[in-house]
Amino acid sequence: RRGVRVVPLQTGGRQERGLRCGTENVPGIIGLGAAAELLPTHLGHMDTRIRRLRDRFEARLRERLGDLRVNGAARDGGAERVPNTSNIGFAHLEAQAILLLLSEVGVCSSTGAACSTGSPDPSHVLMAMGQSREIAAGGLRFSLSVYTTEAEIDYALEAIPKAVEKMRELSPYYAAVDR
């Protein structure tokens, strides 16, 4: 609006009418352009590889643990998911407790949605997707990248079932639920 003074977050040069300081990062801009040109050539291959890792990760967890939910998985012709994210719901368990055990052995994960990490409440995203509170409270999000290796997936596949089984043994609620 006219008459409203916008205060820059950083001070310095007078570029862009004093709203942005410093000279443009020309090498960075050129590098970003070069990366953008390469992306169409490599994106399909990267997606396929990451999707294969994610699908193997989820299938092996199902084999080892049985009682879990892959949140967001396409069912009955449902929508595709992003290839690099796996959200697993462990019913009747607290994701924060599993997260702590995984952290102790070097497996990185998080609870809830990326936009609300750190909240102790069940994921509002999973609840909006129609998941039960029991599944949403036990939801862990695992992210993969082009740098994720088969060995890292294998390591996680050893650590996650151990952590989940330990929490299942310790949880009086899990033991009391008729599955």
Task: Tell me whether residue 21 is one of the annotated catalytic residues.
Answer: no
Paired residues of 111 in beta bridges: 140
Catalytic entry in 36, 38, 79, 115 = 115
Beta carbons within 8 Å of 70's beta carbon, 6+ residues apart: 58, 62, 86, 87, 88, 89
Q: Please give the distance of CA 120 from its chain centroid, rounded to a whole number.
A: 16
What is residue 64's predicted lDDT score, i.e. its pLDDT? 96
Residues 102-154 pLDDT 10s: 999 999 999 866 655 556 677 778 877 877 778 888 889 999 998 999 999 99
**Position with higher pLDDT, 51 vs 81:** 51
Residues 8-66 pLDDT 10s: 777 777 666 677 777 778 899 999 999 999 888 877 788 899 999 999 999 999 999 98
Quickly name the fold that domain 50-176 has.
Aspartate Aminotransferase, domain 1 (3.90.1150)
What is residue 59's predicted lDDT score, i.e. its pLDDT? 95
Confidence of residue 164 (pLDDT cuts 50, 70, 90): very high
What is residue 9's predicted lDDT score, i.e. its pLDDT? 73
From CA 65, how far away is CA 8, in angstroms rounded?
Answer: 52
What is residue 137's predicted lDDT score, i.e. its pLDDT? 83
From CA 64, how far away is CA 16, in angstroms rounded?
Answer: 58
Burial class (CB in 10 A: 0-12, 13-18, 19+), 130: exposed
Q: Phi/psi of residue 34, each to 5°?
A: -65, -40
Closest CA to 86 of 153, 151, 134: 153
